[in-house]
Structure 1
């Protein structure tokens, strides 16, 4: 395998003229990057770590791993209504997974291609990072911006607001279930949603004008809705029948398990938002421009808790399970 700095130069360094066009005064190759934020906008920063066989299967295509590592980080910017601009990446490589230099080159080329393709799609410039040896893991820090005082947060929902989600739910959990059953056809819609999630950046920017609160769905609808409820101090009533199920989910799992996947499965990376009822149609029309549907699934109330479901307590994904105060 190439030495650290040769590896960075070969797979992750952009031409200088491309970097300077993206607001980067100094990019990869020095001790730190120098960036040029735009006046009148606030910087939005988030970090996400992906660990092999925890967040993605080690046998997944390298290109999908690269795509996914960036996509899940960009999803946090989408939830804030931010425009993505830059990222840094810390890549820990397990050298024992490569039989020889050709195997290492094939994996790194695929990984870099998946990462760079998604970055290019969202005008996101890789400006630095680190490469080291150990258990395969990827930490991606993303940076974006929003006009001053316009960022979406989790704390703005109010009683009377409706609750809505972009796209469809349960696809991430459904795709993981298929992978665990041995499905490897990456063209399968559920497997595609699991391995190559779509960060809803354009939708987040559009919803900034209409939504009162937002969060991305990474740990499951109910778990992430719980964070929004707590931050906003509201209760919610949901409609089980209104949940938009991912294509092929009911056929793969059956209706009851499909709804469970939509509620608690995680890895969907759709946006969960609240907004006044009068803004729903305007928001739908704006999202339709980018081909993203918006589905109303419930409403906020001043009655604490989650109502409207047959079972009142659900758990989404948590890395550390302890006592909940």
Structure 2
């Protein structure tokens, strides 16, 4: 069963109104914006990744969802599997660093013990408040599609982590993403739809278009790439960037730097162009759980 299939079944279950039909990355409850994410060893991080960096990434990926809603961070709950004492101590060092750096207090959580040699499974639930919360379903025909920062950095960083050598800045983009909290706060009241980039530019743009009942065209030539990243198609499908993807009228002044990469139009589906040429869609638009 794919992630999409599983979500479709979940949407047939009794849902709280705050779940918003399970069409977004966050829920809304009594003035709070709530999100939860899990990192699994061997899928979301490498066994060789430093525990301090795993702690950073675990918190940052959750706060990235809050950034996409323009929320002020309230705090997190942590579910943690105890195991190797040295690894656990280093994880706590990294957790202290990221919570301090991102001004995110710990509210509580749970600890468990996993069987020997089982992969680590780490979960954080994050809470935000005062969120203008533009939904991913709010794009309008004629809106431009924008992205903050550069794309493909984390994919290049993952390759560097596996190889053991390469640009430390790209490696940091994979291991220690920085959620765009201030940018999200500034953008949220001025855009029609917004989400963070976790699974890849192409697949996440397709999700925004589908949720908004629109088609989207992306110009690969416009995709902003970091130094050392040269293939826009590979960058647009790599995932783990944790930049902000948003829809807004093309003539609207933006409060933060961003790059226009596409346009929403009536219809459905994703179209790729480059230098005014149609580009065939790749076999995979990005990462999807349940597909190997």
Normalised by the shorter chain, which TM-score bucket? 0.7 to 0.9
Query: Is it true that 1:157 corresponds to 2:152 in the alignment?
Result: no
Tell me how far apart the structure 2 counterparts of residues 64 and 157 of structure 1 sit (CA, whole Å).
Answer: 35
**Equivalent residue, structure 2, for 1:272:** 245
Gaps of 5+ in 1: 1-40, 99-103, 251-257, 288-292
Query: Is it true that 1:65 corresponds to 2:34 in the alignment?
Result: no
| 8 Å CA contact 2:69, 2:133 repeated in 1 | yes
Tell me how far apart the structure 2 counterparts of residues 308 and 59 of structure 1 sit (CA, whole Å).
Answer: 36
Determine which of 190, 206, 209 is the counterpart of 1:226.
206
Residues 124-143 of structure 1 aligned to structure 2 (within 5 Å)? 124-134=104-114, 135=118, 136-143=120-127
SS of corresponding position for 1:50: strand
What CA RMSD, in Å, does the superposition of the two structures yield over aligned residues?
Answer: 1.8
Query: Is it true that 1:303 corresponds to 2:267 in the alignment?
Result: yes
Deviation, structure 1 residue 319 = 1.4
Tell me how far apart the structure 1 counterparts of residues 272 and 288 of structure 2 sit (CA, whole Å).
Answer: 24
| 8 Å CA contact 2:195, 2:245 repeated in 1 | yes
Give the structure-1-normalised TM-score. 0.74
* Deviation by residue 1:274-313 (Cα, 9 ceiling, x = unmatched): 001122xx32xx32xxxxx311111111132222331135
Deviation, structure 1 residue 42 = 2.0
| 8 Å CA contact 2:219, 2:262 repeated in 1 | yes
In our comparison, the structure showing a higher alpha carbon Rg is: 1
Residues 253-272 of structure 1 aligned to structure 2 (within 5 Å)? 258-272=231-245
**Equivalent residue, structure 1, for 2:64:** 75
Residues 1-325 of structure 1 aligned to structure 2 (within 5 Å)? 42-93=31-82, 95=83, 98=84, 104-105=85-86, 107-134=87-114, 135=118, 136-147=120-131, 150-183=132-165, 188-250=168-230, 258-279=231-252, 282-283=253-254, 286-287=255-256, 293-309=257-273, 310-313=279-282, 314-321=284-291
